[in-house]
């Protein structure tokens, strides 16, 4: 504990955000950073608790609280406060493979479990999330982060299928153990949903490219545009590698079941798209324009209009449109913020669940994750631009109206959970129908597990949740002892930090298998 009275002297100060009407003019990250002295003051607030709930990742009442990676949070906060930046980075990297990712997109389970945020203290948690980001970015900026290829190779070869956070964590850990790792990715760039499922303003894609280049220098091989199970043979991979890790995510999107959907033209032609497909196309346009700017220089000024025109060539038009986003989670929020930047006329975000309470409910005590109302950046931007909250709760789409195969409106209906014959079911509220204009519908209603073809091409079985089957939830090895799985493909749709945790644990299991442990 660097400063014993730090938690009494300093109040919480976040990195903050640029004002909504300013940040919606571009697709750049919008969090200004505190300077070094201010950041060290924030680290001084860490009390080095006797039981640091932030790093415990314990299960309480069926919910996991704290950091899944078991980060040594009090240790690197102490080092950060004392200006021991290299020490802070060393301790952080002991448990976290990619702090530059989690420091941007993790919802900070650690902070919600911080003892400073316990209701009895009446204070705010330590800025663990922002401290983590400062430490890793300082490490990159000062040259502490240097590629260190293993001095010895084991001669064993591992194929990682999928380069999302789980696959990257598997590859990084096993490469450091001296195994030869090849990552197969069906897209043209690595990162999975980090790359194309999360908008650029939330996670700048240059950050991902920096890490991939770093891993390449350390000896990890990447093969892009490799759709294993379709254009690449699973049999060849099994024959040529000593172990395989399936880390393809859970990207089978939940479809919209509403009257009139069958009358629409497919995809963007009809104005009905899955959120991930939409965000992928937008991000690809942003990345392409950024790379063009790097070649041409400042003569090419990237504007939202440029991105809009690039998308129009792909058949996607948002400017001047009434947009409906089905889903109230992070992906739905990302769609809201993206559509505002692309000049939509309006955006309405539908959520089937009721509006969460402002304060913790009695059955949701600290240090559990608080199931309370939060207003994320997309909703903030909609409020600033349109003057009202875009979120509508306990509502879904009942019918889609179309003209010449294209969306022209929707009928919504309110829903609620009721006990029907002893079973809890989602039912419509009679007389609650409402019509809304709509030119584009984005489905961000979650996922139904993994896309089956890659797993089936390796001969692995799927669980009832459409994830790759293993002996138990804690196991990463399939019935074929040579094949392992991790991330969303193993546990179902979850957070980036859980994917990284899964990747590291899966890598340990693979290493034990290869070494005969």
DSSP labels, 220-239 = -EEE-S--BTTTB-HHHHHH
Q: Is the preceding omega at residue 514 within 30 degrees of 0, hence cis?
A: no
pLDDT grade for 156, boundaries at 50, 70 and 90: very high
Burial state string for 211-248 with b = 16 or more CB within 10 A and e = fewer than 16: bbebbeebbbbbeeebebbeebebeebbeebbbbbbbb
User: Cα 450 to chain center, whole Å?
Assistant: 16
pLDDT grade for 31, boundaries at 50, 70 and 90: very high
Q: Which residue intervals of 317-411 are DSSP H helices?
A: 330-341, 377-386
Q: How many residues does the chain have?
A: 517
Per-residue DSSP letter, 416: E
User: Kind of pairing, strands 406-420 and 423-428?
Assistant: antiparallel
pLDDT of residue 345: 98
User: Cα 212 to chain center, whole Å?
Assistant: 17
User: Cα 377 to chain center, whole Å?
Assistant: 15
**Closest among 162, 158, 172 to 215, alpha carbons compared:** 172
Give the C-alpha separation, 71 to 126, whole Å.
14
pLDDT of residue 300: 64
Q: Is the dihedral of CA 479, 481, 487, 489 positive or negative?
A: negative
pLDDT tens readout for residues 186-200: 999 999 999 999 999
pLDDT of residue 3: 85
CA neighbours closer than 13 Å in the CB half-sphere of residue 94: 12
Give the C-alpha separation, 278 to 368, whole Å.
33
**Closest among 509, 506, 489, 488 to 497, alpha carbons compared:** 488
pLDDT over 60 at 103, yes or no: yes
Indicate left, alpha or beta for 470 from its phi (over 0: left) and psi (-120 to 50: alpha): beta
* Helix (H) or strand (E) segment spanning residue 349: strand 346-351
Give the C-alpha separation, 199 to 214, whole Å.
22
Please give the share of the chain, as a percent, with pLDDT higher than 70: 97
pLDDT over 70 at 61, yes or no: no
Backbone phi, psi, residue 321, to 5°: -100, 150
Least confident of 214-223, 285-294, 333-342, 473-482: 285-294
Q: What is the pTM of this model?
A: 0.95
pLDDT grade for 62, boundaries at 50, 70 and 90: low
pLDDT over 70 at 58, yes or no: no
Q: Which residues pair with 462 in a beta bridge?
A: 468
pLDDT of residue 472: 86
Least confident of 48-52, 305-309, 402-406: 48-52
Residue 85 · residue 144 · CB < 8 Å:
yes
pLDDT of residue 131: 98
pLDDT grade for 63, boundaries at 50, 70 and 90: low
Give the C-alpha separation, 223 to 161, whole Å.
10
In order, the DSSP letters of 257-299 are --BTGGGSPSGGGTTEEEHHHHHHHHHHHHHHHHHHHHHH-TT
pLDDT of residue 299: 61
pLDDT of residue 57: 66
pLDDT of residue 421: 85
Q: Please, which residues have CB within 8 angstroms of residue 324's CB and are 6 or more apart in sequence?
A: 347, 348, 350, 397, 410, 436, 438, 440, 441, 442
Residue 450 · residue 250 · CB < 8 Å:
yes
Give the C-alpha separation, 286 to 314, whole Å.
13
pLDDT tens readout for residues 203-231: 999 999 999 999 999 999 999 999 999 99
**C-alpha to C-alpha distances, 67 to 64, 102, 128, nearest whole angstrom:** 9, 11, 11
pLDDT over 90 at 81, yes or no: yes
* Helix (H) or strand (E) segment spanning residue 427: strand 423-428
User: Kind of pairing, strands 221-223 and 180-184?
Assistant: parallel
Burial state string for 14-47 with b = 16 or more CB within 10 A and e = fewer than 16: ebeebebeebbebbebbbeebeeeebbbbbbbbb
Backbone phi, psi, residue 157, to 5°: -115, 135
Could you give the 3-state DSSP secondary structure of residue 456? Answer: helix
Mean pLDDT of the region 21-50: 95
Give the C-alpha separation, 299 to 59, whole Å.
54
SS3 content of the chain, % helix, strand, coil (to 5): 40, 15, 45
User: Kind of pairing, strands 58-60 and 63-65?
Assistant: antiparallel
Residue 208 · residue 191 · CB < 8 Å:
yes
Q: What average pLDDT does the structure give for the chain? A: 94
Give the C-alpha separation, 388 to 377, whole Å.
14
Q: What is the CA radius of gyration of the chain?
A: 23
Could you give the 3-state DSSP secondary structure of residue 319? Answer: coil
pLDDT grade for 350, boundaries at 50, 70 and 90: very high
pLDDT tens readout for residues 118-155: 887 778 999 999 999 999 999 999 999 999 999 999 99
Per-residue DSSP letter, 181: E
**Closest among 516, 517, 514 to 155, alpha carbons compared:** 514
């Amino acid at each position: 504990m660097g400063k014993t009275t730090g938690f009494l002297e300093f109040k919480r100060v976040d990195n903050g955000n640029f004002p909504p009407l300013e940040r919606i003019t571009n697709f750049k990250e919008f969090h200004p950073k505190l300077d070094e002295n201010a950041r060290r003051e924030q680290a001084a607030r860490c009390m080095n608790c006797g039981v640091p709930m932030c790093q415990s990742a314990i299960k309480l009442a069926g919910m996991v609280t704290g950091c899944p990676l078991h980060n040594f949070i009090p240790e690197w906060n102490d080092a950060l406060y004392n200006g021991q930046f290299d020490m802070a980075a060393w301790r952080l990297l002991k448990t976290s493979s990619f702090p530059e990712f989690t420091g941007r997109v993790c919802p900070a389970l650690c902070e919600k479990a911080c003892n400073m945020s316990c209701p009895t203290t009446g204070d705010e948690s330590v800025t663990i999330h922002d401290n983590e980001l400062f430490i890793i970015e300082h490490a990159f900026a000062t040259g502490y982060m240097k590629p260190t290829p293993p001095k010895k190779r084991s001669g064993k070869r591992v194929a990682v299928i999928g380069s999302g956070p789980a696959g990257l964590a598997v590859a990084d850990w096993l490469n450091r153990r001296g195994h030869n790792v090849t990552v197969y990715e069906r897209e043209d760039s690595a990162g999975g949903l980090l790359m194309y499922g999360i908008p650029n303003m939330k996670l700048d894609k240059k950050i991902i490219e920096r890490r991939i280049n770093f891993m390449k220098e350390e000896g990890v091989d990447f093969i892009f545009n490799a759709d294993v199970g379709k254009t690449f043979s699973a049999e060849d991979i099994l024959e040529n590698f000593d172990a395989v890790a399936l880390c393809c995510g859970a990207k089978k999107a939940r479809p919209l079941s509403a009257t009139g959907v069958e009358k629409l033209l497919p995809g963007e032609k009809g104005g009905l798209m899955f959120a991930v497909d939409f965000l992928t196309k937008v991000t690809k346009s942003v990345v392409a324009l950024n790379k063009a700017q790097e070649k041409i220089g400042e003569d090419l000024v990237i504007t939202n209009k440029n991105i809009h025109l690039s998308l129009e060539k792909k058949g996607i038009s948002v400017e001047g449109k009434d947009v409906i986003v089905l889903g109230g989670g992070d992906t739905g929020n990302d769609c809201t913020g993206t559509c505002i930047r692309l000049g939509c006329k309006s955006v309405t975000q539908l959520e089937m669940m009721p509006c969460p309470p402002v304060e913790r409910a009695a059955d949701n005590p600290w240090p559990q994750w608080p199931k309370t109302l939060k207003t994320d950046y997309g909703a903030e931007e909609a409020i600033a631009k349109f003057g009202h909250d875009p979120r509508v709760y306990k509502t879904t789409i009942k019918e889609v109206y179309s003209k010449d195969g294209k969306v022209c409106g929707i009928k919504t209906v309110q829903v609620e959970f009721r006990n029907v014959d002893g079973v809890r079911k989602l039912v419509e509220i009679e007389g609650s129908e409402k019509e809304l204009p709509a030119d584009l519908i984005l489905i961000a209603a979650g996922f139904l597990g993994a896309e089956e073809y890659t797993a089936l091409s390796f001969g692995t079985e799927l669980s009832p949740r459409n994830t790759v089957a293993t002996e138990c939830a804690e196991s990463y090895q399939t019935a074929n002892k040579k094949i392992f799985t991790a991330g969303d493909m193993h546990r179902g749709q979850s957070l980036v930090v859980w994917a990284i945790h899964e990747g590291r644990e899966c890598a340990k299991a693979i290493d034990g298998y290869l070494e005969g442990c």
